[in-house]
Structure 1
């Protein structure tokens, strides 16, 4: 059957409207990055501790949920401009405080500057000492922002698209240090079948942060409150702790 040209444009518009309606059908459209073991795609499903924690909380709150993986900077921008959208897992910082509404925390965050264990020549007494070395960090991350503040010219700072790329640069001696979450370093070394001692922490860059869910500021406050109450319940009864132990081993 040949569709007349005059009908093609209305047909495409109708299909586009259907797709948009389908995407908006969920109560919460959540966006995350590929950051295992917090979130990653496996067999066409978004898995990881943070992703499963969000599913648990949404189900407890009686809200439907769709999760999409995007590059971090795009996910961040998408949630900033999309009502009822949610970004995870994100560190709550003073700079971000008014950009979102917050539900959490869902777990601790420790970011180290890692060196290869064989590189015993690398010594850091404080974070500013990192300026003497080539450092890889995830573009758009809180760790990258902190390192950039220490080195405004960014001569030795390398922005990576993901932790796997940063670790590969470390293994190939393209950088001297990488900033990485301790959970992520263990996960990636195990995935590469490398022993945990391959990389050693050289400095604790950030040990006081927590991971949160962040919602677009135009999200109805009652929905944010509903999610927070659901998170409080699954944390209080131990379900969140069991989930973290299954994915993160702690």
Structure 2
């Protein structure tokens, strides 16, 4: 009888593991300073954090993919078993996701070409008359639309935003300092060509890892517990330091 219970316990344990991994997780992100392709692999600070969290949670059956932000966001809204990162936590998004944990902060900023010094910037309202590149469905686009901006030029990702600014197709780009530095490195241009002119401090925010709302509860619990354990151990911060 004792052997029977031991065997039953083993079977139940295997079933629990199978339930957890029954549907592979899909990790979605956009190309940014936190996630990018290098040597044919998806890499970056946020990618390392997500991989560490999933490993701690005992989840090995997953794939990572880089999409335009709007596509990644739609997948996380509509599909089960989706991990999205990094994502800003806002009141409007609160009930749309399971929020695993905060791992960084961002300060959206408006940039211009340094050669275009004639653009006057003292307040947000000063920028309304200029064309501004923004990533489609990004928090920066939502914020500017809510503040009456009508000359927004939607882009698929940060690389397109940056290229439009460098090419003179727009007068302003809404990005973050880390994104600008990353694009300068990738495009091999001197970052002194662009200048930060206004920080959008009102939407400075935390960056999160989140799970799609209809992801099984046992996955949510395990992933969240894994993140909290790594955070408590001080293991998250070292993962955010980029490779040399």
Task: Quickly name the TM-score band, shorter chain normalised.
Answer: 0.7 to 0.9
What's the CA shift for 1:27? 4.4
* Aligned mates of 1:183, 1:42 — CA distance in 2: 17
The aligned residue for residue 109 of structure 1 is 106
Cα deviation, residue 99, structure 1: 0.9
Separation in structure 1 between the aligned mates of residue 47 and residue 39 of structure 2, nearest angstrom:
14
Name the CA distance, whole Å, in 1 between partners of 2:23 and 2:180: 33
Name structure 1 gaps, 5 residues minimum: 1-23
Q: Tell me the distance in 2 between the aligned counterparts of 1:210 and 1:135.
A: 23
Provide, for residues 123-179 of structure 1, a one-character-per-residue CA deviation record: whole Å limited to 9, x for no partner.
322222220211111111000111112236x2x111111111111111122211100
Take 1:134 and 1:112, find their aligned partners in 2: how far apart are those partners?
Answer: 15
What does residue 124 of structure 2 align with? Answer: 127
Cα displacement string for residues 5-30 of structure 1 (whole angstroms, at most 9, x for unaligned residues): xxxxxxxxxxxxxxxxxxx8664221
SS of residue paired to 2:86: strand
C-alpha root-mean-square deviation of aligned residues, in Å? 2.0
Q: Could you tell me the TM-score, scaled by structure 1's length?
A: 0.82
Structure 1 counterpart of 2:220: 224
Distance 2:78 2:154 in 1: 25
**Alignment partner of 1:180 is 2:175:** yes
For the Cα contact (< 8 Å) 2:28–2:84, is it kept in 1? yes
1:237 Cα offset (Å): 2.5
Moved segments of 4+, more than 3 Å = 24-27
Count of matched residue positions in the alignment of Structure 1 and Structure 2: 222
Q: What is the TM-score with the length of structure 2 in the denominator?
A: 0.83
**How far apart in 1 are the matches of 2:156 and 2:82?**
23
Alignment of 1:72-151 (within 5 A): 72-151=69-148
Equivalent pair of 1:90/1:212 in contact (CA under 8 Å): yes
Question: Which residue number corresponds to residue 168 of structure 1?
Answer: 163
- 2:48 corresponding residue in structure 1: 52
Task: From 201, 204, 228, give the equivalent of 2:199.
Answer: 204
CA displacement 1:162-220 (0-9 Å, x = unmatched):
11111111112221110002111001112222222221111111453011112121223
Quote the offset at 1:100 in angstroms. 0.9
SS in 2 for 1:37: coil
Range 209-218 or range 122-131, more displaced? 122-131
CA gap 1:25/1:67 in 2 versus in 1, 3 angstroms = farther
Q: Secondary structure in 2 aligned to 1:159?
A: strand
Trace 1:34-53 onto structure 2 (pairs within 5 A): 35-53=31-49
Over 3 Å counting, the alpha-carbon distance change for 1:177 and 1:108 in structure 2 is same
Task: Tell me the CA shift for residue 91 of structure 1.
Answer: 0.6
Number of the residue aligned with 1:241: 237
Separation in 2, partners of 1:193, 1:83 = 39
